[in-house]
């Protein structure tokens, strides 16, 4: 455990690591407070594009944790940065929540439902057949298909809900065009996190709860990986993957246990 504690910084996944829905997980408050008191650099990384950093900060505030909005990085922000590097000043047709549109606006990428360069899909509760029709027509007309993340499902207070990978599937099938996904396991997300922290890959650890997105992203980014068993992946699942995390913990609270 001392090796993890000696890291200069941490990139942490959120759902399944910090909380489930609106419930903070055991040991999280102690871990976050330790990072702040020990002057560790840290960023919370999430594949969900549904909330802005301010909204995520407020969510943690309601759980009793005071974390600056500057400490969050979402797949919506990563998608906007990616499009800005690919085609500065481009336009997009967006199926997603307001946080995704805001992230795009912040990078000077504006909405266009006539002849956009990109069709961008993220999690949303306003999905409709009309929007799917529009997206299919635009992709068939030459717009490039982008997904904020490849997750097919997400866990909410109401149970399993479809995520971006599921929402983009009808468009992909109807057009025959493969989307490009920006979120984990694409190592782009972690590289953005590293840049935000100003750290080298060997100076930080990445903490996640999923072997198929978090741990593989860390390995492909040459970052030490910490799998916590508070989310999707159970201990008995680990052996079915052809790669392993460097550390396996019951939860992030284990990192600060027995600190005198």
Annotated catalytic residues are 13, 15
Burial class of residue 2 in the structure, from the number of CB atoms within 10 Å of its CB (0-12 exposed, 13-18 middle, 19+ buried): exposed
- Look at the alpha carbons of 209, 211, 217, 222 in this order and tell me if their dihedral is positive or negative: positive
**Beta pairing, strands 19-20 & 23-24:** antiparallel
CA dist., res. 163 & res. 149, Å (int) = 8
Place of tokens 């699942």: 237
The answer to whether 149 touches 75, Cβ cutoff 8 Å, is yes
The answer to whether 225 touches 247, Cβ cutoff 8 Å, is yes
CA dist., res. 13 & res. 30, Å (int) = 16
CA dist., res. 82 & res. 78, Å (int) = 6
Q: Count of CB atoms within 10 A of residue 109's CB?
A: 26
**Number of alpha carbons in the 13 Å side-chain half-sphere of residue 205:** 21
CA dist., res. 143 & res. 91, Å (int) = 10
* Among 118, 123, 152, CA closest to 135: 118
């Amino acid at each position: 455990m001392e090796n993890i504690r000696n890291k200069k910084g941490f990139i942490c996944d959120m759902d399944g690591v910090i909380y489930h829905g609106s419930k903070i997980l055991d040991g999280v408050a102690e871990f976050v407070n330790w990072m702040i008191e020990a002057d560790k650099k840290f960023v919370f990384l999430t594949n969900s594009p549904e909330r802005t950093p301010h909204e995520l900060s407020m969510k943690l505030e309601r759980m009793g944790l005071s974390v600056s909005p500057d400490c969050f990085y979402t797949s919506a922000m990563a998608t906007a940065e990616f499009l800005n590097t690919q085609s500065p000043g481009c336009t997009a047709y967006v199926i997603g929540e307001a946080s995704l549109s805001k992230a795009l606006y912040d990078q000077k990428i504006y909405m266009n439902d006539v002849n956009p360069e990109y069709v961008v899909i993220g999690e949303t509760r306003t999905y409709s057949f009309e929007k799917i029709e529009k997206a299919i027509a635009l992709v068939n007309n030459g717009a490039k298909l982008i997904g904020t993340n490849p997750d097919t499902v997400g866990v909410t207070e109401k149970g399993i809900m479809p995520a971006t990978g599921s929402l983009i599937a009808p468009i992909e099938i109807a057009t025959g065009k493969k989307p490009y996904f920006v979120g984990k396991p694409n190592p782009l997300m972690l590289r953005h996190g590293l840049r935000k922290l100003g750290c080298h890959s060997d100076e930080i650890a990445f903490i996640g709860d999923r072997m198929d997105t978090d741990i593989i992203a860390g390995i492909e980014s040459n970052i030490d990986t910490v799998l916590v068993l508070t989310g999707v992946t159970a201990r008995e699942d680990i052996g079915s993957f052809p790669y392993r995390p460097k550390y396996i913990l019951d939860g992030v609270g284990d990192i600060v246990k027995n600190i005198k």
